Structure 1
Amino acid sequence: MTDQAQLPPGYPQEWEADIVLSDGMVAHVRPILPSDTEAVHEFHAGQSDESIYLRFFAPIKRLSDKDVHRFTHLDYRDRVALVILIKDRLAGIGRYDRIEPGGPVAEVAFNVSDHHQGRGIGSILLEHLADIGREAGITRFVADVLPQNRKMIGVFRDAGYEVSHEFDDGVIAVSFDIEPTDASRRVRMSREHRAEARSMRAVLHPSSVAVVGVSRRENTIGRAFFEHLVRGGFTGPTYAVNNSAEPGTLILGHPTHASVRDIEGGVDLAVIAVPAPEVLTAVRDCAAAGVKALVVASEGFAETGPEGAALQHQLVVTAHRAGMRVLGPTSFGLINNDPGTRLNASVAPPDQVPPLGTLGLFAQSGGLGVAVLASARRRGLGISTFASAGNRVDISGNDLMQYWMDDEATSAVGLYLESMGNPRKFSRVARELARAKPVIVVKQGVGMTAIPRGHRVRLTQEPPETFAMMLRQSGVIRVDNAHQLFDVAQLVINQPLPQGDRVAIVTNNDALGSLAADAATARDLKVTHGPVTVPAEAVIEDFREVVEAAVADPRVDSVIACFIPPIAEIDPEVVQVVAAAVDGTQKPCVATFLGMRGVQPGTGVPSYPMPEDGIRALAAATRYAEWLRRDQGEPVRPEGISRVAADRIIEAALERSPRGCELTAQEVTELLAAYGIEVWPVHPLSSDEEAVEKYKELGGTVVLKATSPLLQHQPGQGWVRTGLRHRKAVGAAYRDLDALLTPLGVDGIAMQKMAPGGVTVEINSSEDPLFGPVVGFGIAGLPIELLGDEAQRFPPLTDADIVAMVGSIKAAPMLDGYRGAMPVDHHALRDLIARVSVLADNHPELASVRLNPVMAHQEGIEVLGAAISVAPAPTRADAERRVLSSGVV
């Protein structure tokens, strides 16, 4: 972060961010400062004549002091400029200036250093300026570009916006709306993916590695890292760094170096294993030596308290300013089994590292990393890559997933998560990865007790089941522990995914067959074949026949084979029989050969100690396969939305109450109208005479209801009078309600036209510090309030997400004509949910939105009541511009 003492008044420090360039290097973006004057002069002097002419339409050799003063002194609202710094040197400048003060249109311009062309700097500046502009009420960018400036035209064209061009007097006038579109979001996420994947490739495929803190004494962390690199057969040069070793000292036959700076030819990856107070010096040495990435194994950072947290922040800031990614601190290390790399930069000895395989693994703490690797090795389950993030100050599971998405050596992914700093991004990236490869996640909880020391995370206000809902929406397979993770992994890696939920059970023991059948039924698998039991004394050929019959049955999607050996040990031929029967089919098989666990070499059939273990894994794979087969849908983009109009209402409310407030009924009506949601008017009353007059004015059938918030959660107490069709009935109903309310010391009676009969539902959203916007839906009243029958999803939503959301509640049959009632208009209901989801996604200032009651009926949907509260917008972890967390959440 920039030094506070140097900041001008109104400087928006929240715009500062570390970002990953298209080549995987880290850079820093921030608002321009008056103190950047000399840097701007130096930047301009380093540009070619062509670049200067394309930017200023004139051959300006030197910018005037007046121009530079205007460039560097801004109000950060009508005039905004950002700079991108690479290793603290100016690499790009982007700015916008409103055409009219406070107006919706701004002129945008960029200038990228000739030395840094092709690294995506212009695209990143455009993303950040557009997001800042939208927050300030700007809706459209315009720019004048010379026809020969193809790179700048390409920045606008390739951003995914609908760009219009006009040619006039030798200049192309470019203009486009900056509201995010499906195309612009796809472009942003694609660029983010490529950049982060390349960044991680540099971490996992270094050409050279140095270990800082290699002791001559054995049984030290630095020595362990170095030994494992050497003994593991790393294919590149390996360097030992020990600042206290005598010149010429050899460790494992390798000469030591006093500093990374002393290593000729440079280093790609440095492992730092020195005491915490010495880490920053080592990081600065690595920065000076041009190191690309760091693994920090040292302890003594945020897990120790505030002083350690401050040191941890200095660590990541120093590394990022030098363009380096950081794994750790307190990292167990990383492993890449690629034969062309053979990288074991971890504390796991080579003989404890799982063999080469196709499972990518990620863990956070070192202790769990040890357990995860040991479990994989015991099962004979090979891995492609492994990383332990430690305190997760920079590199996280999200980064590894971006890498694994394109990694042909990885066919499935396992993540052991102890905390989560950016669930919105996790959900987005995991969903994309899960479409291509199974993603298996161990996550115990999201409360304070589940967060390890040193992990900086936001605290959620949502119940624990919210996280499980997010994983289901993402297509992720959630399991309870590392054993279950590998149970699933050994199945999805070695067997095809199930084509359905029908299973066959074959065994040589009745009790085992019954146990398997009960377990399958309990997990919603349909037993359509068997259990078929051969006699305990049957020969292997008999078992072969029943297995082959199960595989050949067209009513079977998966096979469960359970075999108890008649003697102490399993005959290997039994395993081969089962493997041969399913080989080449599209029907997976899970087996229980008592006493065996894992995948036996050459068979591909996963074995489990008990049937329940294999069936749990099979059910998880079946649900995942069902998710894959479902249409994932398209992002919802309802028509008739005015984000600008909604912003004005929200801004006015927060100007009135800076800490937040409930919107007035008029504000609620206008805000929802900006998103195409009509709220039926509610007319407050003060007497029975006024009630009769209002009834005459409205006509038709009306409803009288008590409006006190104290009564909202007391259903069935007679606070509503419906079906009033005569003025005498209206007057009497008012007097009756008033008589009920007076002894309670509450007041407030209102009239509303009566909606068509149907099903009363509730649609709501809330802004959670951890998850961001969470949208909920359910049948109003007791189903939600007492039974918790509410579906939740996390915007942005697809149309398929909303269909699944509506159908997932237990009371969903009420919407489809339960007991002879007419089905509701599902199209209108889904459209309303879509509008609420986009509203919540677009406006983080909306602390809560509640539409209740909402009447869903055969001919449409009517919003009869709504309440909205606003608060200062939190900084979402996954914004519309690419940002690295830098350990800050």
Structure 2
Amino acid sequence: MAGPTDPRPEPAPYPEGWEADVVLRDGGTAHIRPITPADAPALQAFHVAQSEHSIYLRFFAALERLPDRDLARFTQVDHVDRVALIAVQSAHAEHLDPGSAEPGEPREPEEAGRPGRLDTADPGEPAEVIIGVARYDRITADEAEVAFNVSDAHSGRGLGSVLLEHLAAAAREVGVRRFTADVLPQNGRMIAVFREAGYEVRQTVDDGVVTVVFDIDPTDRSLAVTADREHRAEARSMQRLLGARSVLLVGAARAPEDSALDLVVKRAFASLSRSGTRELHVVGLPETHGHGHLPLQEWWSQPGSAPGEPTLVERWERLADVPRTIELAVVALPPRDVVSVVRRLGPLGVRSVIVLSTGFAETGEGGLVLQRELVRAAHSAGMRLVGPASYGLFDAAAQPPFNASLTEELPPPGSLGLFCQSAPMSVPILASVANRRLGVSSFVSAGHRADVSGNDLMQFWEEDPATEVVGLFLESIGNPRKFSRIARRLATAKPVVVVTAGKSGQVVPPGHAVRATRSPRRTLEEVFRQSGVVRAANTHEMLDVAQLFASQPLPAGRRVGIIAGASSMAALVAEAAAAAQLDHRGRVVWFGDDTPEEDLRASVRDLYRGGECDAVVVVHVPTVGTASPRVVRAVADAAAGSAVTTVACVLGLHGITDALTATDDEGRRWTVPAYSTPEGAVTALGAVVRYATWRSTDRGRPVTPAGIDRNRARRLIQGHLAAAVSGNGPVRLLPADAAELLGCYGVRLWPSRTVAGPDEAVAAAQELGWPVAVKSTASRLRHRADLGGVRLDIDGPDELRSDIAQLQERAAHLGAPYAPLEVQRMAPSGVACVVRTTEDPLFGPVVSFGLAGDATELLGDIGYGIPPLTDVDIAEMVRSVRAAPRLFGYRGLPPADIDALEDVIARLSVMASDHAELRVLELHPVVVAEHGAAVLSARIDLASARRTDTSRRSLPT
């Protein structure tokens, strides 16, 4: 189909940014990329493999093979007016040669063929097969005709919907705004793909053909549909990972005895061989490795496995001999051998792979390239990848428990889901979990998180009935926008406790490929606050908070009672409670060595049942001797089933203990968590109270201001970037251009005129209307009334000429170069504010708000928000700055129009969220009067940008 112009322009460069790995509905993966002429044979093979029915639905005719002319037309596209995307996977059956060398140790001629040996012959990149095609041909400047074709063998995996998302995103980049398609009435599945994507579909029927038309700009519904599909697909992939029933361990056959790699292999074998009914297949380990001699191809019951549930272990000489029923592979090999092995796992049916080996991105550029090859090999074969440098994973809640990690002993089953990126940090975290006797549902260590990340596990834990609390140790966050979106959804149902490497969260350890950020350190804190995430200072505090969430009900409020045996301890708790913003008003129960047990129980019971406490802190630390069992028992019995959140600091007790466990009237067991110090107990309680408050508070609705023209704004931005000399930008917009762009989002820029001297200034003032302000545009004096760069309330020509002379004299005195002047009609008096948005490479759009003035900037009195924002987010951002009282009638001033101010912030947040090209957008000042908010000046810098989180589903790149 011809494009909208003739002759056709030269093809655009291959759009690498359109390539993406995606998770499909069944949890498997595929690679999406633009088609190339070299794909013609694969496209023909794809077509020939389709059923007659599918071919008829696509082409409205029987077509055994694609004619050469059509094949050329389908594969030779310009990536602008004619675009085609294909979904591909590796051709498993075609690249496996049973007689070829196997990856592993270097081949030695005299040892080739020895049992248990692996060889490093790399099969290279396997051939790709096409499993889905999506294309459009432009009809007009903003409309294109689309067509989709999904492999019959891969039907039902969600390929149609994900291809539609990516094709629509590509179309929007080149100015297409609407898709149309001609579909046969019996092709209800394709019509459903369009409608279920969340777009407003219009359809007509003419001559037995259904014509479908829909706009492709994202809508609230289409974005919600995409997020829900992403959630279900990623959760499913983690379910497959943790629920694997058959496992393959591929280890280094000739690693030096007791080397790091040898020890890793031994530990992995020991863990897997105790995993109950799961089948364990082993390749590359000597027969004496791990637990003694094991004949090849002999099923074996491993001693020490669950009673009555033997582990079945089978050793194989080569990967090619392993049965094609493997669900999970665990690999511990030298780095380059890992890539070769992963390429060979696809034919075995492997769905997920855990790489325990190190030696990848943490070693430098060469290792990073190797890590990318590893990810590509896994995703091309439809697998999710955990690692490299992973500590493994386990599912303690499974029956029997499943252990594919390097830990020797699993914690007891419980409700805490744990994620840890670092393998070394997994060791002390799990040791602390064991010391506390804290129950865990599942654990995953992602290592360098080249693929599987904390986002994936949060998706899974949201639906996992065994998990009620989530704890995350994050060394880096590769996609904060996606993290925020997922965490906010999860935190509304289950608490999420996070520790980051470094307070700023900007520490990037070796091995983690993360975009650099220009945002201030407080940005990540705002991401967590908006998302309802509980941020802990360290792993010890994370587990302190997690054990309270896991063992006690959420508090209904901030009122705190104290049970103590010493006044000094009670005072310490009261001070800590005040610091944690808890409400303690003298609600104290005292006990001593001579307090009768009946009196003690009655006092404790009254504290719990009196309705005056939402939480109770118990401190029992005798100066000499041991803690009194009667005190401990009285507290445990009273707390059980009381709905009063309780924490304790009792000498000799730590974590989850039997001593502080009791049963309520319904037979449910409750445990009061024990802490090493009173301050630790109160700190954990304060974090839980803040979370409970966040969860019970209305978080508002996403802001959707009226009067927005996204399409016009996009055309203006693309036009300015196209007209720029340098395509890299940034491009500074002229005031008139900035006003036009802001107008697309309903933000009115107060009129002004740039003048060269007094005569032009007077003429401008006459046009705009008196009184006026005159401002210097010199960078040193702009917005600097304190330096004489601004003169206000000028109500006549003579005063204006005089003020201009003084302003120019002041500029000369300060050595400021000559710059034009700006004349503007005076706005109503009010509070001057600054609203900014910046596009950060890591965080995406970051909105900030503060009152204008150097003091605000110097003191960092600025509130931040990460779009998309709700009305509550914006209200909290305005009120979060310490100078906010000036907006609410401070010391007799009239209250400012907060609604008008919040409307401006809302419009800018939506604008920044819509357009990644807005490198900087600054409104300075925004004068908020008693009625209305006047935007007096705007700076807009444009530059090309790509975000880590977009409207299309994709895995990390």
The question of a shared fold, defined as TM-score above 0.5 by the shorter chain, is answered with: yes
Shift in Å, 1:686: 2.4
Distance 2:816 2:237 in 1: 65
Moved more, 58-67 or 831-840: 58-67
Q: State the Cα distance separating 1:278 from its structure 2 match.
A: 1.9
> 1:286-365 to 2 correspondence within 5 Å?
286-350=345-409, 353-365=410-422
Q: How many residues are treated as equivalent by the alignment?
A: 874
In 2, the alpha carbon distance for the partners of 1:464 and 1:694 equals: 44
Q: CA deviation at 1:255?
A: 4.1
Distance change >3 Å, CA 560–CA 441, structure 1 → 2: same
Look up the match of 1:441.
498
Show the counterpart of 2:565: 508
Question: For each residue in 1:214-259, what CA deviation from the matched residue of structure 2 results, as whole angstroms up to 9, or x when unmatched?
Answer: 769676211211111223x332111222266599358968442123
Q: Which amino acid aligns with 1:241?
A: V
Aligned residue in 2 for 1:698:
768
Q: Which residue number in structure 1 is paired with residue 273 of structure 2? A: 230
Equivalent AA in structure 2 for residue 861 of structure 1: A
> 1:658 aligns to what?
727
Structure 1 residues 37 and 387: alpha-carbon distance in aligned structure 2, compared to 1, 3 A threshold: same
Q: Which moved more, 1:405-414 or 1:742-751?
A: 742-751
Separation in 2 of the partners of 1:255 and 1:144?
A: 55
Matched, 1:181 2:184: no
Aligned residue in 1 for 2:575: 518
Per-residue CA shift, 1:430-463, capped at 9, x if unaligned?
1111111000000133779822211111111122
The CA distance in 1 between the partners of 2:225 and 2:205, in whole Å, is 26
- Hey, what does 1:3 align to over in structure 2? none
- Look up the equivalent residue of 1:91 and give its one-letter code: I
Equivalent residue number for residue 62 of structure 1: 65
Alignment of 1:641 onto 2:682: no
Do the aligned partners of 1:598 and 1:608 also contact (CA within 8 Å) in 2?
Answer: yes
Does the 8 Å CA contact 1:245/1:258 hold for their aligned counterparts? no
Among 381, 391, 395, which residue is 2:452 paired with? 395
Structure 1 unmatched ranges of 5 or more = 1-6
> In 2, distance between residues paired with 1:600 and 1:538?
24
Match of 1:264? 323
In 2, the alpha carbon distance for the partners of 1:274 and 1:696 equals 80
Q: Find the aligned partners of 1:65 and 1:224 in 2 and give their Cα distance.
A: 57
188, 193, 197: which is aligned to 1:155? 193
1:825 aligns with 2:867: no
Q: CA deviation at 1:552?
A: 2.5
Task: Check the 8 A contact 1:496/1:587 in 2, yes or no.
Answer: yes
Distance 1:586 1:72 in 2: 65
Give, in whole Å, the separation in 1 of the partners of 2:183 and 2:756.
Answer: 64
Contact 2:783 2:790 in 1 (8 A): no
CA distance in 2, matches of 1:713, 1:575: 65
1:367 has 2:424 as partner: yes
In structure 2, C-alpha distance between the alignment counterparts of 1:110 and 1:577, rounded to whole Å = 68
Counterpart residue type for residue 803 of structure 1: A
Deviates more, 1:763-772 or 1:549-558: 549-558
| Equivalent runs, 1:216-227 vs 2, <5 Å | 220-227=263-270
1:881 equivalent to 2:940? Answer: no
* Structure 2 letter corresponding to 1:662: R
Specify the SS of the correspondent of 2:859: coil
Per-residue deviation, 1:635:
1.7
Cα distance, 1:345 vs. partner? Answer: 0.7
CA distance, structure 1, for counterparts of residue 599 and residue 802 of structure 2: 83
Residue 536 of structure 1 deviates from its aligned partner by 4.8
Contact kept in structure 2, 1:791 and 1:808, CA below 8 Å: yes
Mapping for residues 128-277 of structure 1, pairs under 5 Å: 128-213=166-251, 220-231=263-274, 233-242=275-284, 248=295, 254-277=313-336
CA distance in 2, matches of 1:715, 1:511: 55
Partners of 1:636 and 1:799 within 8 A in 2? yes
The yes-or-no answer on 1:95 pairing with 2:135 is yes
* Structure 1 residues 5-20: aligned runs within 5 Å: 10-20=13-23
Q: Which amino acid aligns with 1:229?
A: L
**What percent identity do the matched residue pairs reach?**
46
What's the counterpart of residue 124 of structure 2? none
Q: Pick closer, same or farther for the CA change 1:244–1:513 going to 2, 3 Å.
A: closer
Moved more, 708-717 or 55-64: 708-717
Which deviates more, 595-604 or 851-860? 595-604
The residue identity in structure 1 corresponding to 2:61 is A
User: Is the 2:917–2:943 contact (alpha carbons within 8 Å) kept by the matching residues of 1?
Assistant: yes
Q: Mark the CA change 1:57 to 1:373 in structure 2 (over 3 Å): closer, same or farther.
A: same
Secondary structure of 1:606's counterpart equals coil
1:631 and 2:673 aligned: no
Paired with 1:392 and 1:379, the residues of 2 have a C-alpha distance of: 28
Asked whether 1:851 is paired with 2:908, we answer: no
Q: Is the 8 A contact 1:498 1:586 kept in 2?
A: yes
How far residue 845 of structure 1 moved from its aligned partner, in angstroms, is 1.3
CA distance in 1, matches of 2:218, 2:506: 38
1:255-301, CA deviations, whole angstroms, 9 ceiling, x for partnerless residues?
Answer: 42123332235211111012223212321232232211111001111
Does the C-alpha gap of structure 1 residues 299 and 362 become closer, same or farther in structure 2, counting only changes over 3 Å? same
Paired residue for 1:730? 800
Q: Do the aligned residues in 1 keep the contact of 2:386 with 2:446 (CA within 8 Å)? A: yes
Q: 2:52 matched to 1:49?
A: yes
In 1, are the aligned partners of 2:785 and 2:791 still within 8 Å (CA)?
no
Structure 1 residue 63 displacement after superposition: 1.9
> More displaced, 809-818 or 502-511?
809-818
* Normalised TM-score (structure 1): 0.95
Does the 8 Å contact 1:446/1:460 carry over to 2? Answer: no
Distance 2:504 2:684 in 1: 27
Distance 2:775 2:337 in 1: 69
Q: CA deviation at 1:517?
A: 0.4
Corresponding residue SS for 2:343: helix
CA-to-aligned-CA distance 1:365-411 (integer Å, 9 cap, x gap): 11111111110110010100001111111111111111101000000
- In terms of mean alpha carbon deviation, does 730-739 or 485-494 score higher? 730-739
The answer to whether 1:618 aligns with 2:685 is: yes
Do the aligned residues in 2 keep the contact of 1:547 with 1:561 (CA within 8 Å)? no
| Most deviating of 113-122 and 334-343 | 334-343
SS of aligned partner of 2:786? coil
Give the conservation status (yes or no) of the 8 Å contact 1:529–1:550. Answer: no
Q: 1:9 to 1:719 in 2, by over 3 A?
A: closer
Distance in 1 of aligned mates of 2:171 and 2:576 = 56
Q: Which moved more, 1:235-244 or 1:425-434?
A: 235-244
1:138–1:784: structure 2 CA closer, same or farther, 3 Å change rule? farther
Q: Is the 8 A contact 1:19 1:884 kept in 2?
A: yes
8 Å contact kept, 2:778–2:816: no
Aligned to 2:760, the other structure's residue is in SS state: helix
CA contact (8 A) 1:19 1:883 kept: yes
Deviations 1:457-498 (A, max 9, x none): 111112222111111111000001111011101111111111
1:172–1:529 distance in 2 versus 1, CA, 3 Å: farther
* Deviation of 1:343 (Å): 1.0
- Contact 2:775–2:783 (Cα < 8 Å) also in 1: no
Whether the aligned pair in 2 keeps the contact of 1:214 and 1:223 (CA below 8 Å) is no
Q: What SS does the aligned partner of 1:390 have?
A: coil
Q: Give the corresponding residue for 2:26.
A: 23
Consecutive unaligned residues in structure 2, runs of 5 or more: 1-9, 91-127, 289-293, 304-312, 663-670
Amino acid corresponding to residue 458 of structure 2 in structure 1: M
What's 1:740 paired with? 810
Distance 1:816 1:359 in 2: 44
**Do residues 721 (structure 1) and 791 (structure 2) align?**
yes
2:515 to 458, 468, 474: 458
Matches of 1:859 and 1:633, distance apart in 2 = 24
8 Å contact 1:297–1:329 — kept in the other structure? yes
CA RMSD across the alignment: 2.0
**Mean Cα displacement is larger for which, 607-616 or 539-548?**
539-548
Please report how far the alpha carbon of residue 8 of structure 1 lies from its aligned counterpart in structure 2 after TM superposition: 8.5
What secondary structure is seen at the aligned counterpart in 2 of 1:598? Answer: coil
CA distance in 2, matches of 1:145, 1:825: 53
